[in-house]
Amino acid sequence: MPRILDGNRVRDDIKSELKPRVAALVEGGRPPGLAVVLVGNHPASAIYVRNKIKTCHDLGIHSESITPPDTVTTAELLSIVEELNRREEIDGILVQLPLPPQVDTKRILLAVSPEKDVDGFHPFNVGALVAGLPAPRACTPAGIIELLQRSGIAIAGKRAVVVGRSDIVGKPAAMLLLHQHATVTICHSKTPDLPAVCREGDILVAAIGRAAMITGEYIKPGAAVVDVGTNHIANREQAARIFRNSPERMAAFDKKGSVLVGDVDPFDVVERAGAYSPVPGGVGPLTIAMLMVNTVAAAERRVLACRVC
């Protein structure tokens, strides 16, 4: 049986390490502050934001949730972001995606001050990532590295294959792996003979956004497989095919009417991998944990800057 890369355990370790840092900031004047902007009524985003706010509360981080209606204009949302940029008690700003179609998402993300960009999406921070300079890192890719390192998976000198080229996960994950001295290949749905390329990876990161697409033929025997996928399946026939009509899994599907599936086939990965991150319970918990890391680090940089001044 392969080792399970337990994201819940790693998340709890990170939270334990953050608590004394938060306490030191509180003792020094005020807690770190995170503002989350949630536009409209997107159920999945609302759940995610609630989890972020709860984690802030658990750690003693000040949090605010700003909830403009889904009719908000680009100009109105820019005004909200600019106000948050000016507020000294806010160290981190997170604009929850996706935004409504009438909003210019790129303009909104560019408006967030790089110092408060705890999502790590601003071009300034992306450039710092490429150059290997200190700056907030995209949360999910940073969580992937923490999961591998804290699970004892060697990265240096290994072949790493990242399936998916998104700005949010694929590209920054590849860059972080490169900084850890892996030899990295980025591939995608149009890569010729994609299974053969994936089989070259001692580390395989699946972030393509297609339920159970990465089957056994994509996995090198003994590889460490990191499944970033979060695909909600509501079709019973599709769920039955993915879970091989498992009575336990199908009972869970019937109870909820849907099931969460990663990008990696959940049965094939057990047969082929040496270690893997399950869905749920793998990378997911670390996305919020790394958001907290970025927020606390932003607050610490603010304190240091004030001392220099």
CATH number of residue 205's parent domain? 3.40.50.720
Distance CA 152, CA 144 (A): 13
Distance CA 115, CA 113 (A): 5
Q: Are residues 65 and 170 in the same domain?
A: no
Catalytic residues: 52, 96, 119
Q: Are residues 103 and 157 in the same domain?
A: no
Q: Are residues 153 and 260 in the same domain?
A: yes
Which residue, 83, 115, 147, sits at the end of a domain? 115
- Residue 293 maps to a domain: no
92-95 sheet: strands from edge to edge:
62-66, 33-37, 92-95
Single pTM value for the model: 0.94
Q: Are residues 151 and 278 in the same domain?
A: yes
Q: Would you state the pLDDT for residue 42?
A: 75
What would the two tokens of residue 61 be? 């981080």
Question: How many domains, the chain?
Answer: 2
pLDDT by position in tens, the chain (length 309): 899 999 999 999 999 999 999 999 999 889 999 999 999 877 777 888 889 999 999 999 999 999 999 999 999 999 999 999 999 999 999 999 889 999 999 999 999 999 999 999 999 999 999 999 999 999 999 999 999 999 999 999 999 999 999 999 999 999 999 999 999 999 998 999 999 999 999 999 999 999 999 999 999 999 999 999 999 999 999 999 999 999 999 999 999 999 999 999 999 999 999 999 999 999 999 999 999 999 999 999 988 877 665
Domain encompassing residue 201: 139-284
Distance CA 254, CA 72 (A): 37
Q: Give alpha helix (H) positions in 40-121.
A: 43-59, 74-86, 105-111
Q: Would you state the pLDDT for residue 40?
A: 85
